[in-house]
Amino acid sequence: MTSSSSISTAAIAATAAAAVHAQDVDMDAVLRRRATATPDEVAMRFLRNGEDDVVDLTYRQLDQRAARLAHQLRQQLAPGARVLLVLEPGLNYVTALFAIFKAGATAVPSFPPVGTRAVSRFASICNDCGAELVIAEGSLRAAEERLNAALSAEGKVPAWLFAGADFFEALDARPEVAQGAPNADPDFPALLQYTSGSTGDPKGVILSAGNLISNSRVLDIRMGTAEKHVGFTWLPPYHDMGLMGALLLSVYSGFTLVMMTPAHFVQRPLRWLKGLSKYRVTSSVGPNFALDLCVDTITDEEVDGLDLSSLKLLFCGAEPVRQATLDRFAEKFGPAGFSSTAYVPCYGLAEATLFISGKADSNAVPHRILLDQASLAAGVIAPATLDAPATAIISCGTVATDHVMVIVDPETREPVPEGTVGEIWFKGASVAQGYLNKPEASDEVFRAHLAGDPQDGPYLRTGDLGFMMDDELYITGRIKDVIIFAGRNLYPQDIEAVAQACHPAIRTNGVAAFAVTRDDKEHLVVVAEILRSAKLNAEDLENVEDAIAAAITLSHGVAPHTVHLAPVSTIPLTTSGKVRRSACRDAFNAGALAVAKPRPTPAAAAEADTSTLLPQE
């Protein structure tokens, strides 16, 4: 339970933050204020090679860089135009983002269109948002014709601005420009954050200028103001946690953010921890998979060269946080000065801009509880016993300041008592405006009201399940079928479509993809029904398994942990013929799924039939 002292501290911090930032309507106003108040402080420090090739941007440099580019953008864009931003992570990305804000346009962050799936998703997003301009790396100029062909198949082809290193060097050489009037409308759609969802049905979350300010404010309060922070991020800036939880937060709060590309982290995770040590970082972000990667790849000798004692806040989110992972990381890096009190398990989603809840007491180890596994699976909270399997669940802390969270029965829409599992509903200034071009989905997700009280709302329906205990949130599962793997959201319908198409023996609508937890890790399972007419022998069935695994690995970069081949009618379906993935997962976990049996070859079958006529000894 949150102590009275921590509540008092949070209240004081909230009052101070509100007073300091009351004049800020959007992130451009924040940057202008920083450039005036602390022009020579380093805003962003980018490690170009992930290690010692360092380049800095002060607040004044960032503000003027962005202003020069905004001046150019205004000459070719109408107010409110949507600009797709596909630059690689780095200082140029930050410059372009704030230039879009200054130009009065709407930023649409997306990862670079490199690779077949990335191009397909890029085209879907571009078409959905009606982008008028794409700001891209100079290296993509050679692919312009191919990309335009993909775009023309989807819709209108936008203009391109290829902004490589030479472009920004020329930008820096231009004279300073007078900035236009700042935005005065907190409801202006500053950003479209596309969820990492199905490539065929992208969802653009409309985030207003006020949403960005609200989310930054509640994170700033949660960080506390006792000391000057230094941040570090390697998360991609087109991901909501990397963009809102690191980049925009650092400008809002006024601390230096050290940046590294995701590729440099994945290539050598030690670079992240060396950066934390070298720059005396106090705050960073690390999804569960990143902590596991560090433990698995960094040697004890390399740990000896680290000093992580400055790290006070390690935000853990973007995927389920595992107690076993936190324990392993703390044990491995405790000798380097890391303390478990630094962990800040948090919960959020793009529809809430980012942050919904997180650990409030920065001096405490995150709370956890042990629950009976079987009871929890049924939605009942019961303490663990010595003679039954238990599940450890980590608290995701208290709700964001000035926001409201309610645990609701998703069927009746009535609040449930504390300690009861239900759907997480959320309301407040950080809740987005809705989905672009999807009025029905927006009404369903963003306009919810509690049963019997139409005035209490609207709430955001998160689609996630959890319960409250002593004013803290515990996440238990997802209503949604999203599979989270290594910090990525994988949509089962996309995986199922790939598996369906890879072999003719698989029944139409006969594939189910879902995640299961084994040894505190999430694994992908694919169940595929084999047509009765296929008549496959044992070797043929193995070939089908191999084909499914290869196709999914190639298309999604994830190898299934298990490919389960089953006879027709094994996968549970709804009355309308849709796959019931959760029911299929339950049957798989219980070992109740039927297994496709090999059909003998005609010669073998004939031999077997003849043998039954022979005299028996």
Instruction: Please report the pLDDT score of residue 423 as a whole number.
Output: 95
In a domain, 398, yes or no: yes
Question: Tens digit of pLDDT for each residue in 188-219?
Answer: 999 999 986 555 567 999 999 999 999 999 99
Does 230 fall in a domain?
A: yes
Same-domain status, 88 and 30: yes
Same domain, yes or no: 561 and 428: no
Give which of 139, 140, 137, 163 is closest to 150, Cα–Cα.
140
When pLDDT is cut at 50, 70 and 90, the band that residue 93 belongs to is: very high
Residue range 120-131: average pLDDT?
A: 90
* CB-based contact 548:502 (threshold 8 Å): yes
Tell me if 490 sits within 8 A of 556, measured CB to CB: yes
**108 and 49 inside one domain:** yes
Distance CA(201)–CA(510), nearest Å, equals: 21
Among 460, 383, 476, which Cα is nearest to 421's? 476
Q: What is the pLDDT of residues 426-462, one digit of tens each?
A: 999 999 999 999 999 999 999 999 998 878 889 999 9
Residue 462 shares a structural domain with residue 561: no
Q: Are residues 374 and 397 in the same domain?
A: yes
Among the three residues 267, 290, 313, which one is the final residue of a domain in this structure?
267
| Res 609 pLDDT > 80 | no
Single-letter residue type at 39: P
Q: What is the mean pLDDT of the chain?
A: 87
Number of Cβ within a 10 Å radius of residue 316: 27
For residue range 462-520, list pLDDT tens digits in order: 999 899 999 999 998 777 777 877 767 677 887 888 898 899 999 877 999 999 988 77
Boundary residue ending a domain (267, 282, 317): 267
Q: Is residue 91 part of a domain?
A: yes
Q: What is the CATH number of the domain that holds 570?
A: 3.30.300.30
Residue whose pair of structure tokens reads 């207003």 in the numeric block = 208
Do 428 and 534 belong together in one domain? no
Cis check for the bond before 345: say yes or no (omega within 30 of 0).
Answer: no
Pairwise CA distance, residues 399 & 388, whole Å: 32
Determine the structural domain holding residue 423 and report its residue range: 368-432+455-478
User: Would residue 332 count as lying in a domain?
Assistant: no
pLDDT at res. 10? 38
* Nearest-angstrom CA–CA distance, 354 and 457: 19
Dihedral of CA 567/573/578/579: which sign?
negative
pLDDT score, position 511 = 95
Name the band, by pLDDT with cuts 50, 70 and 90, for residue 414.
very high
Looking at 251, 267, 283, which one is the last position of a domain? 267
Return the percentage of the chain with pLDDT > 70, whole number.
Answer: 90
Residue 128 lies in a domain: yes
DSSP string, 523-549: EEEEEEEEPGGG---HHHHHHHHHHHH
Answer whether 432's CB lies under 8 Å from 408's CB: no
Nearby residues of 598 by Cβ (< 8 Å), 6 or more positions away: 536, 537, 538, 540, 541
CB 516 within 8 A of CB 528: no
When mean pLDDT is compared across 35-49, 88-102, 520-534, the lowest value belongs to: 520-534
The answer to whether residues 528 and 583 belong to one domain is yes
Q: Are residues 382 and 501 in the same domain?
A: no
Kindly indicate the confidence band of residue 13, based on its pLDDT and cuts at 50, 70 and 90.
very low
Strand ordering across the sheet containing 434-435: 159-162, 133-136, 82-85, 106-109, 189-194, 204-208, 434-435
Structural domain tally of the chain? 3
| pLDDT band for position 15 (cuts 50, 70, 90) | very low
The continuous run of DSSP H or E covering 443 comes out as helix 439-446
Does the pLDDT at position 610 exceed 90? no
The SS3 call for residue 195 is coil
Residue 37 domain flag: yes
Q: Are residues 423 and 514 in the same domain?
A: no
| Domain shared by 505 and 467, yes or no | no
Apex 446 CA angle, 441 and 451, nearest 5 = 105
Q: Alpha-carbon distance 183 to 98, whole Å?
A: 13
pLDDT at 226: 55
Confidence at 300, pLDDT banded by 50, 70, 90 = very high
Q: Which residues contact 80 (CB under 8 A, 6 or more apart)?
A: 104, 105, 106, 188, 189
Q: Determine the angle formed by the axes of helices 59-74 and 27-37, rounding to 10 degrees.
A: 140
Q: What is the rounded CA–CA span in Å between residue 105 and residue 19? A: 28
Residue 225 confidence (pLDDT):
64
Residue 554 and residue 464 in one domain: no
Say whether pLDDT at 420 is over 50.
yes
**237 and 94 in one domain?**
yes
Highest average pLDDT, of 172-181, 242-251, 285-294, comes from: 242-251
